[in-house]
């Protein structure tokens, strides 16, 4: 019986991960396609990092490390960056968010935004350092600041939207 | 595939260790990728080919929406644009007459010098599948590859000038490194001040000027073209204009609008115009003299001219 239960759990987790993979893959494509808009001329916001953070903190769903690795490599292929750079970024976001979750901090929207800012900034700083070491030159800071700025502006909007969805679904459940 | 919940302390610790190991592995992968191994390049090219149709399908609706947005934005300034275009048209008409006369003169001079003919470029045009924007890389994927004769290192151009060069080729797709990318270096020539240099991308809007002689005095607004040094890129392709930065340093502003690239052309090979030019007869072109102050009766080397003694 336990064997069957394990098998069912394995397939359940596999299907959840597959669904999450498809979702993030489409999101990566969407993120890249935003570059066609003149407002995102220099760089596009990192929507994937927001989704990873909110999944761990709000939905209590922890994506696997392997999934992060594969998604990062796919992102690198699409952006033609050195293979492994985005994987490090996603793995760092996941690692730091998990560590934050283990601290059991209050999950209000202000604190959430503040903790995301720290996690995102630390991860992007690590990636910038790696890129400087690889290219042996310092890149232009404007696209980088735009990337960080737009991501941090979009975070509370997405966070609020998820809260609103939760609120509406709760209302529907309580008032049939 | 889903990792265990953080409530399980042991599993959480194991998961974190695995995360660390993967980060280290990725770091190794990054440095391996920098070695530019042929196997790695081939894998990348295969994956570009594999994912390009998917990316194209997903990007299409967003690309169309972006076009609609741009169209709506431009309708507000239609009157302004019309006036601007009328003025530009008048100026261009005058310039056209001037250019025709100069072209005629140039052809006569070429004939007089018995100059070797220019190479005729063969061009392949492809559609841009991805958008160019990125923090760490500025590349574009086009839907033409090895089957159209595209090879690594070939220049990509648009109607406005140089866009970049091919860095990876698959069977059906090619990846173009834009001139603004941090890894791009283009040998250029300043048309008015007559100095060669290297234009280096910086992931920003402007190109840095490297390996420029300390004697060089650049002119703001002068045009910059590819010099052809090194033999990788053909000479004479428009790169941009010289602009002055806030710090007083000179930069090159690319003439190409990277945001509005829909189609890109790759110069695939050169076909020589028929004719026997082995028997080269004529005068060698004189080098442009160094701009220096010369006294009357003395030549540029400072020695007295023969005619001036009389």
* pLDDT at position B65: 86
For the record, the structure tokens of B170 come out as: 């698959």
| pLDDT tens digits for range A112-167 | 888 899 999 999 999 999 988 888 888 888 889 999 999 999 999 998 888 888 88
C-alpha B15/C-alpha B3 separation (Å) is: 7
* Proportion of chain B above pLDDT 90, given as a percent: 17
Read off the pLDDT of each residue in B197-206 and give the average, rounded to a whole number.
89
The answer to whether B293 faces chain A, any CB pair under 8 Å, is no
Chain A: give the shortest CA distance to residue B275, in Å: 43
pTM beyond cutoff 0.90: no
* Proportion of chain B above pLDDT 70, given as a percent: 82
Measured between beta carbons, which residues in chain A are less than 8 angstroms from residue B182? 135, 137, 139
* pLDDT at position B3: 47
pLDDT at B304 over 70: no
Per-residue confidence band for B280, with pLDDT thresholds at 50, 70 and 90: very low
- In terms of residue numbers, what domain contains A75? 2-174
Residues 6 or more apart whose Cβ sits within 8 Å of residue A27: A47, A48, A51
Residues 6 or more apart whose Cβ sits within 8 Å of residue B51: A74, A77, A78
- Is the Cβ pair B131, A35 closer than 8 Å? yes
The answer to whether A70 faces chain B, any CB pair under 8 Å, is no
* pLDDT at position B306: 52
| pLDDT tens digits for range A62-117 | 888 888 899 998 888 888 788 889 999 999 999 999 888 777 666 677 788 888 99
pLDDT at B5 over 80: no
Read off the pLDDT of each residue in B130-136 and give the average, rounded to a whole number.
77
C-alpha B53/C-alpha B38 separation (Å) is: 24
Q: Do the interacting molecules here have an ipTM over 0.90? A: no
First CA to last CA across chain A, in angstroms? 37
* pLDDT at position B118: 65
CB pairs under 8 A between A and B: 176
C-alpha A173/C-alpha B5 separation (Å) is: 27
Nearest chain A alpha carbon to B36: A82
Locus of tokens 């394995």: A10
- Is the Cβ pair B12, A134 closer than 8 Å? no
* pLDDT at position B11: 75
DSSP class of residue B149 equals T
- Is the Cβ pair B204, A72 closer than 8 Å? no
Read off the pLDDT of each residue in B34-45 and give the average, rounded to a whole number.
77
Higher-pLDDT residue of B184 and B285 is B184
Q: Give the 3-state secondary structure of residue A166.
A: helix
Of A67, A72, A99, the CB nearest to B1: A67
Count of structural domains, chain A: 1
Question: For the CA atoms of B175, B178, B181, B185, what is the dihedral angle to 10 degrees?
Answer: 110
* Residue of A42, A122, A126, A136 to mutate, interface with B, max B Cβ within 10 Å: A42
Displacement of CA B66 from its chain's centroid (Å): 25
CA count, 13 A, side-chain hemisphere, A48? 29
pLDDT at B284 over 50: no
Nearest chain B alpha carbon to A14: B1
* pLDDT at position B77: 81
Show which of residues 18-57 on chain B sit within 8 Å of chain A, judged by CB atoms: 18-20, 22-23, 25-34, 40, 44, 47-48, 51, 54-55
pLDDT at B230 over 90: no
Written as one string, the DSSP assignment of A74-127 is HHHHHHTPPTTHHHHHHHHHHHHHHHHHHTT----HHHHHHHHHHHHHHHHHHH
* pLDDT at position B241: 92
Of B33, B59, B177, the CB nearest to A82: B33
The answer to whether B5 faces chain A, any CB pair under 8 Å, is yes
């Amino acid at each position: 019986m336990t064997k069957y239960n394990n098998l069912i759990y394995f397939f359940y987790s596999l299907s959840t991960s597959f669904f999450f993979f498809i979702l993030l893959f489409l999101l990566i494509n969407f993120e890249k396609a935003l570059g066609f808009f003149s407002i995102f001329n220099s760089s596009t916001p990192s929507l994937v990092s927001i989704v990873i953070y909110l999944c761990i903190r709000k939905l209590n769903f922890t994506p696997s490390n392997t999934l992060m690795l594969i998604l990062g490599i796919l992102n690198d292929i699409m952006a033609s960056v050195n293979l492994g750079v985005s994987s490090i970024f996603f793995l760092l976001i996941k690692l730091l968010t998990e560590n934050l979750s283990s601290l059991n901090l209050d999950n209000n929207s202000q604190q959430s935004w503040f903790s995301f800012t720290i996690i995102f900034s630390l991860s992007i700083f690590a990636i910038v350092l790696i890129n400087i070491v690889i290219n042996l030159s310092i890149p232009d800071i404007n696209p980088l600041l735009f990337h960080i700025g737009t991501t941090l502006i979009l975070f509370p909007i997405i966070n609020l939207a998820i809260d609103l969805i939760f609120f509406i679904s709760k209302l529907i459940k309580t008032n049939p | 595939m889903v990792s265990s919940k953080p409530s399980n302390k042991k599993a959480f610790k194991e998961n974190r260790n695995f995360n660390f190991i993967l980060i280290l592995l990725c770091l190794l992968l990054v440095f391996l990728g920098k070695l530019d191994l042929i196997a790695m390049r081939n894998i990348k090219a295969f994956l570009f080919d594999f994912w390009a149709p998917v990316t194209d399908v997903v990007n299409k609706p967003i690309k169309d929406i972006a076009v609609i947005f741009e169209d709506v934005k431009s309708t507000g300034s239609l009157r302004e644009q019309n006036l601007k275009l009328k003025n530009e048209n008048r100026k261009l008409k005058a310039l056209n007459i001037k250019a025709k006369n100069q072209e005629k003169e140039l052809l006569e001079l070429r004939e007089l010098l018995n100059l070797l003919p220019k190479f005729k470029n063969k061009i392949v045009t492809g559609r841009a599948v991805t958008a160019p924007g990125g923090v760490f890389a500025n590349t574009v994927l086009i839907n033409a590859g090895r089957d159209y004769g595209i090879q690594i290192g070939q220049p990509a151009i648009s109607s406005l000038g140089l866009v970049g060069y091919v860095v990876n080729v698959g069977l059906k797709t090619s990846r173009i490194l834009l001139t603004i990318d941090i890894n791009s270096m283009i040998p250029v020539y300043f048309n008015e001040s007559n100095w060669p240099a290297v234009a280096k991308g910086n992931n920003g809007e402007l190109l840095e000027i490297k390996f420029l002689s300390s004697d060089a005095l650049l002119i703001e607004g002068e045009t910059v073209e590819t010099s052809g040094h090194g033999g990788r890129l053909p000479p004479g392709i428009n790169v941009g204009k010289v602009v002055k930065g806030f710090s007083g340093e000179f930069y090159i502003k690319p003439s190409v609008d990277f945001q509005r690239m829909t189609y890109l052309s790759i110069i695939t090979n050169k076909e020589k115009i028929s004719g026997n030019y082995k028997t080269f007869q004529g005068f060698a072109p004189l080098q442009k003299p160094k701009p220096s102050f010369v006294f009357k009766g003395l030549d540029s080397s400072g020695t007295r001219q023969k005619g001036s003694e009389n």
